[in-house]
Structure formats: C-alpha cells, structure tokens
Structure 1
Amino acid sequence: MGGPSNKIQLSISCRNLVDLDTFSKSDPEVHVYMRDAKGKGYTLVGKTEMILNNLNPDFTKTFTLDYYFEKEQWIKFEVYDVDNTSLEHIGNSETTIAKLMTANKQTFIGDLTLPGGTASRGKIVVRADSVAMSNDEVSFTVRAEIQGQGGWCCGMDNPYLLISRARSGEIDSGIQQRDFMRVFQSPNVPASIRPVFGAHKMKMQQLCNSDMNLPVKFQVCNYRQAGNHPLYGEFVSTLSELSSHANSQFPLKNAQGQATGTIYFNNFTIIHRPSFVEYLRSGWFINMSVAIDFTASNGELFEPTSLHRQYPDGRRNDYEEAIFSVGSILEPYAFDRKFALFGFGGIPRFAGSSAVSHCFNLSGQPDPVVQGFATMFELYKKAVVGTGLSGPTYFAKVLQIVLDYMKANIQQQMYHILLILTDGAIHDMRETKDLIVECSKYPLSVIIVGIGNADFSNMIALDGDDVVLRNSRGEPTQRDIVQFVQFNDYKNGDFGLLAEEVLKEVPDQMVGYMLSKGIMPQQQPLMSQNTLQRFL
C-alpha cells in the first residue's frame, strides 16, 4: 500500500449535549476510535480532556491522523459524562474520514445517539485541517490587565487564557468569517484582574500549523463554576508579528469592540529544534531494555484467565502480543538489534534460583542482552514455564539497574528506552518516583504497557500528563520521561495503533533531553563513492 495522502488534524466540539447531572451540568469527554484495516473492530486513538459543567464544550486536545484517499477509514466518537472515576454514556457518532474531508468546510456535524437508539442526545462537531509538520517550538511569557466583571452578584474574576488558530484553508477570508480551532487553555487565575499566566512552550505546528502568517486568536475569559465563561476581551495576531518584538502589548476588545484590557507578552521567541532523525543520523543510537512482570497477580499458567497462559493452538497471550507489536517496531532502532531482557516479581527457577527476584535476566546468563525481538519472544516463552509467579510488584530494582548502566556509559552517544510490561499496581511507589525523577536527568524514556484489567492509577500518576511527578523530597522531574498505555484499549483492534501510541512521545523526549544538555546533532560526512561501491 502507498503512504498516506496527507496528515490531518481533527478538532472536536459538542453542542446541546443532554444533561446527565442533577445539580450541575455534564462534564463531557470524547473518546476517538478508528476501525482497523481488517474491519474487525475499533481501536482507541485517544481521548480529549474532560471539561467541567459544559453542554457546549470546545476541546483543546486535537488528533493527528494519516488520511488515505484510496481507503475507507471509519472513525467513531464516543461522548461520556465523567463523574469522579465513572463514565456515563452520552452518545456515539460514526463517519468516515472521506465524508469528513468532503463535508462543507471540512466540518462534520453528527447526531449523538446511544447504541441501538435514534433519539439525538446532542451534536458533535469535528473540524479537519491539513498538517504542516515542524519541529520548532514557540516560547513566551504572558500576563494581562483587565476590567473586572466581579461583584457580589456576579462572582469573582477568575481569568484564564484561551488560544485558537485559524484553519489553513481560510486565511483569505475576513476575521469574522474565519473558523478558529482551539489549541490551548491555561488554568484560571483566582480572584485577579492582573493575571499572570506564566511561561509557556508549545510546538509551532500546534500554535499556527507552522505558518508564520496564520491568524492566531488570544482570548481572556472569566472562569465560572456553572460552565458559562464570559469573555473579557480578545485580539488576533500572527506569529510573524508576535516574534518581531521580544516584548509587546496588545489591547483586548470585547464583542462590541470596546477596549477591556491589555495583554502583555515577554520573550516571545521561536526555538529551532533539531529532529529525532538528525540525532540518529549524527551517530546517536538507542539502547533498548525490556522488563516483564512475573508477579502472582497475573494468574498461574494453568488458570484460564492467566495473563501468561500458553495456548495449545499457538494463540498469543497479551504479553506476547505486546512484545510482538511494540518489539517489531523498536527492533530496527535498537543498537545492533539487541535488547537487555529482564523479568521481575518472580522466582527464576530456570536459572537455579529458589528466591523471588525483582530483576533477573531472562537469558539465564550473566549478560541480559539478547539478539532481536524474535529471540526475546522465545526466551519469554521458555522463562514463563520455568518461573514461579510471586511478588510484590516492585519497579525500583529494574530502574536502578538501568540508571547505573546509563551512568557508567554516559560518555557514549546512547539514548535509552526501558519498556515495562506489567499487570497492575506497584508496591514501591515512593522509591519508583524517586528513581524516575533521578532518571529524568539522564538520556532515558520509560514506556509502561498495562496488561489486563487491574487498577492502573499508579501508572497514570507516573505518566505525569495531568500532574507533574515529584519525588519524596518534592523535587519535580526535569522532563517528562514516562508514557503509559493500557493494552486493553487496543486489544480488539489494530495492534499497530498500540505501537504508535506507545512510541509517539519518544522522539520529543529524546530531543528534549539533548536540548536540555545543549547537545546538537553533528553533521556526518557523506559516504564516498569508493565506500558506497563496497556496499553495493
């Protein structure tokens, strides 16, 4: 099959959602699914953020997808009301990417209905835009001064910053006719008419689709618990204008065109970031480690529900599927296609041990390194029948071994990826957090794939997408190095999407480490004709 016709970015809104809350409004969240290539089922692409008390939400989380002109690509949107940790179904809508791309202004509007039902429970609005990729970032500090809306009858002033960008195909239309896509929302600043929104950094592609002249709208709104957030004021500019002055200010105007305040930018700069590929080309390589969970919570092999069960008909269990789908993608990047392969939480009887180990070599040899993911798969199958499942689930020992290895080889041009396959909650959270914060100073990414249906709240906390991870002394990670994915979200669909989700943050994490250390890719000399001839 040929490559995608284009990359597209989807922005999602909902309108007139049914209200499922008694004393407030629904707190909506949208889950996006793609049907796999074989038409067997839908696989999770991702989830929007949850928005409190809002029946007409505009989500800032966008989704970048490959668009194939020649394929029928079905996409499904499921909308839920989030109450604490439970989800109440609002409704679904399905369409194809082709229908979205041929809709008026590439905007799909669909009814949300419950499975088997016909009554509309609201509308979903999905806007598509082509993606102009760029690795560059935009950095700025922003604050505002506004005319207050507070008072004893109106509530307090709780301003927040909202950023939206125009869609690329509409730059010739007037400001009022342009359709802006929401790309960023800051936390609200309580009880202030001089809010400091702080320093921010975002991808140039996210902010303006890599187009210096694309209109970008900045709005300051007043957060209200009831869900309606009045506008203080707004202005529209471009990245070209904003970056031409390191420090600048712009008037905020309300819907009637009246001045309602001023917004101030400081140190608005464009940061030119090298790409992941440039570092690989300049001689950096990837060291790969894999750790597999052998704790008793996985279930004994003879149990029908065991996550390590070995099927007589050759079917792969979930651990094996994860090894195959992720390992096959990682293998070409691993140095010499080698992996350091560990187990944890089990008794490695195959290696002559009778005690539980929280990090043991699946090779059964002093050297944990094995050749290729196929060998890794076979060693797992041998080790699983020769290992006593035990526990508890500790991550710290594996992390410490990888950290020690990094420190010993810090002079090499080597970036490390640690893939952990595990079935649930860990029991050394404090030690694990301490080590992840320490590891964030070094060239490492940690990928955790959750197998089974256990409580993965600790893994979500380690991921640190919502709350910055801190160690026991309160020190934050220097950079985000953990990516958590739950295997069951992809179990009934295309495992290629699992690998994509697992690995998508690694390039940015690697480049982020390099820039934090001031390391730039070195230009490699071109291969001479004589050297090239020897390869041919």
Structure 2
Amino acid sequence: MIKRVRMMKLHKHETSQAYTMAELESKSSAFLLVTGPRSSASSDVCSDSVKISDDFLKSHVNPDRYHSFDDVRSAIRQQGVKTCNVIFAIDYTISNETSGSKTFGGKSLHDLSVVNPYQKVITAIGETIDPMRGENKTINAFGFGDNEVKDKRIFPLSQEPCSSFYDILCAYKTKTKDIKFGGPTSFVPVLEEAIRIVKETGKYHILIIVADGQVTEEHSSLKAIIEASDYALSIVVIGVGDGPWELMEEWDDLENFNNKVAEQGLSNRRFDNFQFVNYHKITNKAKNPDIALALAALMEIPDQYKFIKENILVNV
C-alpha cells in the first residue's frame, strides 16, 4: 500500500531550478516539486476581506498577483467553496508519444526520466485542493485511452485507494511504467463514471481530466457533458502538450451546447459546467507556473458551486 504523506508547504526556489526524478523522490515527505517561485506565507493581496469579482471569474486575469497556493485556496473559499471532492483522470492515448514535440522537447508526455507535464499538473492541483478536501479520505483516480480499454472504459490508477494527491503521483508513476498507449480519445467513459460517483455519494465533485488532445468523437462527448450538468459536478480539462486545442477552446467558450448539437434535439446544459485550460499557454511565461495553472483551472469553480448549491439538491 502506498504510504500517505501529508503535504507540507515548500520553500521558495528560483524559477530556473528544475528537479530530477531522484531529487523529486527524495523530497517526497514534503510533497515534491517546485516549478516556480512561491512564498512561504500567504500574500496580503488576497486577504479575508477581498472577494474575486464576477469579471475576474469569467476572464483570465494576471495570475501573478497570487504568490502562494494559500492565496488561491483563500480566493476560492471566499466564494463559498469550503470542501472539495475530487475525481482525477489521466489520458494514455498513443498521441502522447508525439504531442510533446513543440512543448516538451520532443519527448513523450509520459516520459518518466524527467518531471513530465502530467506530474506537474498533479502537483499543482494537489497542492491547491488537497488541504480543502476536509474529511473525505479517498480521491478517485483513473486512466483512460490505453491499448486495453481504448475509448470504451476506464481503469483505476491504483488497486489501493488514493487518500492524497501524493498517492496519485506515486500510483501514476507505477502504472505508467507498464502502460501500452492506445486510443482513440473519448471523455465519455470518464464522464459516465464521474456521474455515477456523484449519484452514489450525493456530494459535489470536481472532475479533473488531463489530456494531450481533443476528443475524436465530438457528439458523444458533448452529450455526456450536457448530461453531467444535471449533477453536482464541475468538469475541468487541462490540455498538456501541443494540442490541437481549438475544439476544447470552443467548448469552453460556448454559452450552452444547444446550438452546437441542435440537430440531435439535445437539451441545454443546466449550467456552464466545463472549463478548459491550455497548460503550456498558462504556465509558459508565468512567474509562478504551478500557481497560475491552479488558478486558471479552478477559477470557475465558485460560480459553478454557487449554482449547484442553489439549484441542484445535493449535499455540497
């Protein structure tokens, strides 16, 4: 069983510093890597008396005003989100082998000889959300798109329950060593499982999908996203690698999906439940890459949470 390690606040490092895998593992007790400078104390930019405006939540403002993960957590909590339940899904389609040609030095996005984008995303989201999970002891973590399940099913990253994002990081490394990439790419099995979990638990969840490209079956994925809007579920897709991302960006920008799939007679979403984040674009020039990513990924959560709390009967 993977030993649960409590996250601890990390010291400030220079932006140019990078960790090798050996260094990463040696720092496991403090929960891993730093890809940009961060403060050991929360910035006074985001005090308890400050709230994020609606305009901020709907647009990408300069994330460098936030200097620590505490800042991001504080901003989210101020909007009413006190605890989070998380579902995490990792893309193992074969395009991961080539879609890092521009943004990851030509290496596979799952290359374990370096700290890869999937590990960086797990870290950044984990350092933000893990302290907000309250008494929830388990994070549901899955893989999809490998040569075995293809676009039909998902599989657990670990046979043992993941009780922290550190557990997910360890499970990811262990599982990835033996994975045979496959495809095609479909979010449908992940979305169906997320809906099942929300229905079973009756609790609000954030679904984080980390993927290297857009889906190959557009209609079925749109239909699943629309169905998901009947439940207490926020969907965040974080795109790693070169993309293309046009379809994901289009989905993120749509006020609703009704016009997109009107010919199929599908209903409107009950609320805007989908957020897309281009990992490379967000982190490439940020002074605090991890913090910039976390803020971009979670900035729509307060509005979604507010709608769910007011309109969907669920124990949020």
What TM-score do you get using the length of structure 2 for normalisation? 0.69
RMSD: 3.5
**Residue in structure 2 matched with residue 331 of structure 1 by the alignment:** 130
Q: Once the two structures are superposed, what CA deviation does each residue of 1:10-67 show, in whole Å capped at 9, x if it has no partner?
A: 9xxxxxxxxxxxxxxxxxxxxxxxxxxxxxxxxxx99x9xxxxxxxxxxxx6847786
**Residue in structure 2 matched with residue 316 of structure 1 by the alignment:** 115
Bigger fraction of residues in helix: 2
Compute the displacement of 1:355 (Å).
Answer: 5.6
Q: Once the two structures are superposed, what CA deviation does each residue of 1:132-177 show, in whole Å capped at 9, x if it has no partner?
A: xxx9xxxxxxxxxxxxxxxxxxxxxxxxxxxxxxxxxxxxxxxxxx
Q: Are 1:482 and 2:274 matched, yes or no?
A: yes
Match of 1:346 among 135, 142, 146: 146
Residues 446 and 355 from structure 1, CA distance in 2 versus in 1: closer, same or farther, beyond 3 angstroms? closer
Give 1:82-93 correspondences, 5 Å limit.
none
> C-alpha separation between the residues in 1 aligned to 2:51 and 2:140?
37
| AA aligned opposite 2:112 | Q
> C-alpha separation between the residues in 2 aligned to 1:316 and 1:509?
32
Tell me, which stretches of 5 or more residues in structure 2 are unaligned?
A: 1-40, 68-75
> C-alpha separation between the residues in 1 aligned to 2:210 and 2:256?
23
Residues 67 and 332 from structure 1, CA distance in 2 versus in 1: closer, same or farther, beyond 3 angstroms? closer
| AA aligned opposite 1:454 | G
Residues 476 and 387 from structure 1, CA distance in 2 versus in 1: closer, same or farther, beyond 3 angstroms? same
Number of residue pairs the alignment of both structures matches: 250
> C-alpha separation between the residues in 1 aligned to 2:177 and 2:60?
44
Match of 1:4 among 33, 36, 44: 44
Q: Secondary structure at the match of 2:250?
A: helix
| AA aligned opposite 2:120 | E
Compute the displacement of 1:337 (Å).
Answer: 4.8
**Residue in structure 2 matched with residue 35 of structure 1 by the alignment:** none
RCO (CA 8 Å, sep 6+): is it higher in 1 or 2?
Answer: 2
Residues 497 and 355 from structure 1, CA distance in 2 versus in 1: closer, same or farther, beyond 3 angstroms? closer
Residues 384 and 300 from structure 1, CA distance in 2 versus in 1: closer, same or farther, beyond 3 angstroms? farther
> C-alpha separation between the residues in 2 aligned to 1:65 and 1:487?
14
Residues 384 and 409 from structure 1, CA distance in 2 versus in 1: closer, same or farther, beyond 3 angstroms? same
Q: Once the two structures are superposed, what CA deviation does each residue of 1:451-472 show, in whole Å capped at 9, x if it has no partner?
A: 0111112212332x34422354
Q: Which has the larger radius of gyration?
A: 1
> C-alpha separation between the residues in 2 aligned to 1:435 and 1:292?
18
**Residue in structure 2 matched with residue 427 of structure 1 by the alignment:** 216
Whether the 8 Å CA contact 2:51–2:79 is kept in 1: the answer is no
Residues 467 and 9 from structure 1, CA distance in 2 versus in 1: closer, same or farther, beyond 3 angstroms? closer
Q: Once the two structures are superposed, what CA deviation does each residue of 1:505-536 show, in whole Å capped at 9, x if it has no partner?
A: 11211111111237899xxxxxxxxxxxxxxx
Tell me, which stretches of 5 or more residues in structure 1 are unaligned?
A: 11-44, 49-60, 72-134, 136-273, 348-353, 522-536
Match of 1:397 among 178, 189, 196: 189
> C-alpha separation between the residues in 1 aligned to 2:185 and 2:86?
22
Bigger fraction of residues in strand: 1
| Large movers: runs of 4+ above 6 Å | 6-10, 518-521
> C-alpha separation between the residues in 2 aligned to 1:473 and 1:509?
25
> C-alpha separation between the residues in 1 aligned to 2:110 and 2:121?
12
Compute the displacement of 1:503 (Å).
Answer: 0.7
